[in-house]
Structure 1
Amino acid sequence: PHKLRECIPVGVLLRNRLKYALNNQEAIKICKDKQGLVKVDNRIRRTHKFPLGFQDVVSFDKTGEFFRILIDVKGRFQPHRIDEKEGSFKLLKVKRKSIG
């Protein structure tokens, strides 16, 4: 997972950014559903406290929506809607290139 200063919880994303839940209790119920409604980087996450960071892909299979977590000009985390093809891969930083 991500560092505490560089992430937001799944519950905050559902409640404040995407407006899928009106309060924290609804966000908890969405996360803890037995169908596994929330996936982060193609893995089911059932806790509303799971940290989401830069370039994470959040998907909802029931609605077929995919979001990538990006940072806006003011430094806030914003979900950016992407298609299913782009949601299947994770963007990473290149640390080193070598030959042989």
Structure 2
Amino acid sequence: MSEETIQLELNESGVAVDLPQPAHQGDQVQGVPYRPVEFRDDDLPAALERSAAWLRRAQDWLGEPVDVIAIHLDYDDRDGKPYYDVKLLCNEEDLAGAPIALRDLNPE
């Protein structure tokens, strides 16, 4: 049995540097083990549409479906804050680009 090392190019929060970032300034990839990708807006359909657009771009980049563990919907009723908070709870290995690195290591 041989041990092979996979080299991933990650940013300071541990996700792949080439991972498509959410386009809206209020959206973000957060830094916890299950990696919530957050979309905030006063308009729920807009937040959901941006999350779907990001998910399509991320899946195109990854070359396979992103493993979304759960979708969390919350709200923030504080003044000046976007009301809706949609989070896609994603597998951190997918967001780090591990499937891409494995394919590059073992091309078919």
Is TM-score (shorter-chain normalized) higher than 0.5? no
Larger RCO of the pair (alpha carbons < 8 Å, separation 6+): 2
TM-score range, shorter chain: under 0.3
Q: Decide which structure has greater strand share.
A: 1
Q: Decide which structure has greater helix share.
A: 2
Output the TM-score relative to the length of structure 2. Answer: 0.26
Output the TM-score relative to the length of structure 1. Answer: 0.27
